[in-house]
């Protein structure tokens, strides 16, 4: 995915709007060993498939 498309998808996922309601699932996890946090999201497509973004 090119940068512009990625940034646009991320913007849609993070900005609450009626158009994105129910389309995204978010996961925030923490790696205790490395003291790092990880954020990922999934976009639910109309056909039932899912695209994971990190």
Q: Which DSSP symbol is given to 21?
A: T
Pick from 20, 44, 43: nearest CA to 54: 43
pLDDT band at residue 46, thresholds of 50, 70 and 90? confident
Identify the pLDDT of residue 5: 83
C-alpha span between 20 and 42 (Å, rounded): 12
* Token pair recorded at residue 6: 């990625």
Q: Which domain holds residue 47?
A: 3-53
Tokens of 14: 């993070």
How many structural domains is the chain composed of? 1
| Helix (H) or strand (E) run with residue 24 in it | strand 24-31
Q: pLDDT digit string (tens) for 3-32?
A: 888 888 778 777 766 666 677 778 888 888
Angle at 50 between CA 45 and CA 54, to 5 degrees: 120
């Amino acid at each position: 995915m090119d940068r512009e498309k990625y940034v646009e998808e991320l913007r849609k996922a993070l900005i609450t709007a009626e158009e994105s309601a129910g389309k995204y699932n978010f996961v925030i996890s923490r790696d205790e060993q490395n003291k790092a946090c990880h954020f990922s999201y999934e976009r639910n497509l109309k056909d039932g498939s899912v695209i994971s973004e990190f």
